[in-house]
Structure 1
Amino acid sequence: MDGALALVLLVVVLAFALASPRGLPEAVVAVPAAGLALLLGLVSPAAAVEEVVELGPTVAFLAAILLLGHLAGVEGVFAWLGARMAAAGRGSAPRLLGLTFAAASVTTAVLSLDATVVLLTPVVLATARLLAVRARPHVYACTHLANSASLVLPVSNLTNLLAFAASGLTFLSFAALMVAPWLVVIAVEYAALRWWFGTDLAAPPAAAAPAPDVAAPRFALAVLAATLAGFGLSSLSGIEPVWVAAAGALVLGARALLARRARPVALLRAADPLFCLFVLALGVVVEAVTANGLGAALAAVVPSSSSLPGLLGLAALAALLANVVNNIPATLVLLSVLGDAPAPGLVLAVLIGVNIGPNLTYVGSLATLLWRRVLVGTEAAPTVREFTGLGLLTVPVGLVAAVVALWAGLQLL
């Protein structure tokens, strides 16, 4: 009975988060659900506190990176990027797709998948319109790469932050192991989208408007470069990456406030404290589900070997679970099942599954749902049939290719 009650709470929380009625924040239901789990004894106060404390640094990092991505937009980084893409695209849809892949891959890696979905997707849509080419291939590239191209750095995705904390790896060793999976899955995505959208990419463009002349935001680009370098150096100096992200956000935030391009309330909203609260509450609800049956059920089937078959099986299980309960709960549950000191390869196999898997269904990732909302009412609005069909093409191949690349990297350690 306790297991069923905990599962019902999780389903209600996720259903509300996915539906987002009237734009209400996810925490509106998640926080009461966590409180109810405590009240009903589904999770002990000690376990709930331990979960919140464990997630605290990860959530703080999430807030800092969300704010950093927002400030990059305020400083004109994405407007400049769109202008450069329009100029380099020269009216060619295939060329624009390549540029979109490059922009989305780097944006996702450095500023997280949320920046790609919320800030880059509208820029790509506007650029396609400016060049008078069909937008569907390019906006689909944004959502697929927001998920699958988020493998490479701990900062690229909330799931990465959770996995990074559990892996015991340094920032640089995490990146070194994941760079090959990142590159091969991007190649898989590019080949698949080129084939799937062949007709759209071959369509002759209409008369294109001239590309706008936007000055490079040199200061913002320099701060972002310094922040990225700081992430790498932090692992060598023992400094938590959250302080590096906070420093970058502080510099850009102070500049934006002094120039009156942003207000304190807007910056607070960009850090999305309610979403951070949702993640903490979700962690408590997932702990209740894990402690009341799901953890034991998964423990019976979760591979414990870092062999290639073991990694493939774990990644496939993680992808399946992400498409059933969303990738954030899937990550929390599987990391809990793996125990206190899991082998890094197992943790990274879970990450491959929960990051690539959500390209199969809308419910797999909150970022995918947000991308869908961005495109509602546009000529590039997605359909379930097309999204799922493209996912069936890319996800299985991408999972296998990324896991094989991870396994090969682990052999070199």
Structure 2
Amino acid sequence: MRTAIVGGVLLIVGAIAVALGILPLDVLGDLGERVGPILLFVIAITVVTELASEAGLFQWVAERTAAWGHGRAWLLWLFVVALATASTVFLSLDTTAVLLTPVVIILARHVGLNPLPFALTTVWLANTASLLLPVSNLTNLLAEHELGTPGPAAFAALTAPAAAVGVIVPSVVLFLVFRRDLAVRYRVETSEPIDDRVLLVASGVTIAVLIPSLVSGLPVWVPASVAALVLGAFFVVRRRSVVRFSLVPWQLVLFAGGLFLVMEAAHSAGLGAVLAAASGTGDDPLSLLRLAGVSATASNLVNNLPAYLALEPVAGSPERLIAVLIGANLGPLVTPWASLATLLWHQRLVQNGVELSWSRYVLLGLVAAPVTVALATLALAVGW
């Protein structure tokens, strides 16, 4: 509810800016055309993943993953790394943070392991693995539009070297921190029975078809909306009680819409000039490091979405825009509010009885974030 309240306040502030003429109506119209399809995608993909979770798809995947680990905690953790990465790349960071977190907690407890390394892996990779494709992060969808909608393949060609660093470096840090927890063995337990195999199969097939559709070059809201309607129809027939308004992430949409409006108004009021002075110019490695550092710092001070929105107009080139994305996507590992996905992840942690103090989270993030952002930016500079 806090997210909705903040979003409502932001919308009111934005409306005042429109009423006072700070944000012209034509600029507001352009903003609506740009962000409307993005918010529609967020709604559709959330409905799909929530329904798939209700069908037991993620639980089924977790149990199969436990068997693949062959009793070795480190191998099981590597499968979780792969699962979190794939979930983030193809289904977005919020899917990983919100839906995969309880799955890996249940998975770890199911085999008698400490759930913290697995839970922390989901939230770190939800952020740092979200650079490769437009669908991986809301900031990427915004950047794709700014780049002239190059398509998933062209976007991945720009981001791939930095995206690889975003997966590898945080994973190495996590392994070193939790190496004792991951050096043990476990016993594979019997799998839980599936309540409705038809819904399980329907969810699996729907997502299997959806994933390549999201990278086919179609506007991503189209296949996501079709998948939500198809899967929703299955649930209406077989488990109608699950189909409810709460499936729609209205709080997130309200928050994001308010942020878009306020940041556009701030730019109209002169924020761009201030940020241009702070972020500098140039495409050389030092200039890119400076820009990515400003983006990461702003993300941890405020939130990665407004940080990206504030810096996008002053990027000036595709390479510099990717540097902004590196800071906004890979940098939000320090403060709890740096990424909305992190706040949602922590709610799931509390609901599942896993304790992690924010002070420890911050300290670990201070180790991982600067190294990840710096190496990813250098990979961008070398690979460009």
In the superposition, the TM-score normalised over structure 1's length comes to 0.85
Using the alignment, how far apart are the partners of 1:274 and 1:128 within structure 2? 30
Using the alignment, how far apart are the partners of 1:101 and 1:62 within structure 2? 23
Give the deviation of 1:210 after TM superposition. Answer: 3.2
Q: Is the 8 A contact 2:295 2:328 kept in 1?
A: yes
Corresponding residue for residue 299 of structure 1: 276
Match of 1:174 among 155, 161, 164: 155
- Aligned pair in 2 of structure 1 residues 198, 303: CA closer, same or farther (>3 Å)? same
Using the alignment, how far apart are the partners of 1:233 and 1:367 within structure 2? 26
Q: Is the 8 A contact 1:65 1:155 kept in 2?
A: no
* Range that drifts further, 143-152 or 40-49: 40-49
Match of 1:221 among 188, 204, 225: 204
Give the deviation of 1:204 after TM superposition. Answer: 6.4
Structure 2 counterpart of 1:220, one-letter code: S
Using the alignment, how far apart are the partners of 2:113 and 2:298 within structure 1? 37
- Aligned pair in 2 of structure 1 residues 296, 273: CA closer, same or farther (>3 Å)? same
Give the deviation of 1:277 after TM superposition. Answer: 3.3
Using the alignment, how far apart are the partners of 2:154 and 2:117 within structure 1? 34
Match of 1:373 among 344, 347, 351: 347
Using the alignment, how far apart are the partners of 1:136 and 1:323 within structure 2? 22
Corresponding residue for residue 236 of structure 2: 257
**CA RMSD between the two structures:** 2.3
Corresponding residue for residue 162 of structure 1: 142
Give the deviation of 1:203 after TM superposition. Answer: 5.5
- Aligned pair in 2 of structure 1 residues 208, 219: CA closer, same or farther (>3 Å)? closer
- Aligned pair in 2 of structure 1 residues 71, 179: CA closer, same or farther (>3 Å)? farther
Q: Is the 8 A contact 2:272 2:314 kept in 1?
A: yes
Structure 2 counterpart of 1:301, one-letter code: A
- 1:121 matched to 2:101: yes
Corresponding residue for residue 243 of structure 1: 222
Give the deviation of 1:272 after TM superposition. Answer: 1.9
Corresponding residue for residue 335 of structure 1: 312
Using the alignment, how far apart are the partners of 1:145 and 1:64 within structure 2? 22
Structure 2 counterpart of 1:177, one-letter code: L
Paired residue total: 380
Corresponding residue for residue 396 of structure 1: 370
Q: Is the 8 A contact 2:71 2:185 kept in 1?
A: no
Give the deviation of 1:24 after TM superposition. Answer: 4.8
* Range that drifts further, 299-308 or 190-199: 299-308
- Structure 1 residues 221-265: Cα deviation after superposition (integer angstroms, max 9, x where no partner): 33223222223322xxxx42221222222222222222225554x
- 1:101 matched to 2:81: yes
Structure 1 counterpart of 2:176, one-letter code: W
Map 1:48-59 → 2, pairs under 5 A: 48-59=28-39
Map 1:317-356 → 2, pairs under 5 A: 317-338=294-315, 342-356=316-330
In structure 1, stretches of 5+ residues that fail to align are: 1-19
Using the alignment, how far apart are the partners of 1:273 and 1:24 within structure 2? 8
Q: Between the two proteins, what is the percent identity of the paired residues?
A: 35
- Aligned pair in 2 of structure 1 residues 391, 190: CA closer, same or farther (>3 Å)? same
Using the alignment, how far apart are the partners of 2:185 and 2:151 within structure 1? 48
SS at match of 2:270: helix
- Structure 1 residues 135-163: Cα deviation after superposition (integer angstroms, max 9, x where no partner): 11110001001100111111111111111
Using the alignment, how far apart are the partners of 1:256 and 1:66 within structure 2? 15
Q: Is the 8 A contact 1:86 1:211 kept in 2?
A: no
Q: Is the 8 A contact 1:372 1:381 kept in 2?
A: no
- 1:230 matched to 2:230: no
Structure 2 counterpart of 1:375, one-letter code: L
In structure 2, stretches of 5+ residues that fail to align are: none
Q: Is the 8 A contact 1:74 1:256 kept in 2?
A: no
Give the deviation of 1:50 after TM superposition. Answer: 2.9
Structure 1 counterpart of 2:314, one-letter code: V
Corresponding residue for residue 92 of structure 2: 112
Give the deviation of 1:378 after TM superposition. Answer: 4.9
Structure 2 counterpart of 1:277, one-letter code: L
Give the deviation of 1:96 after TM superposition. Answer: 2.3
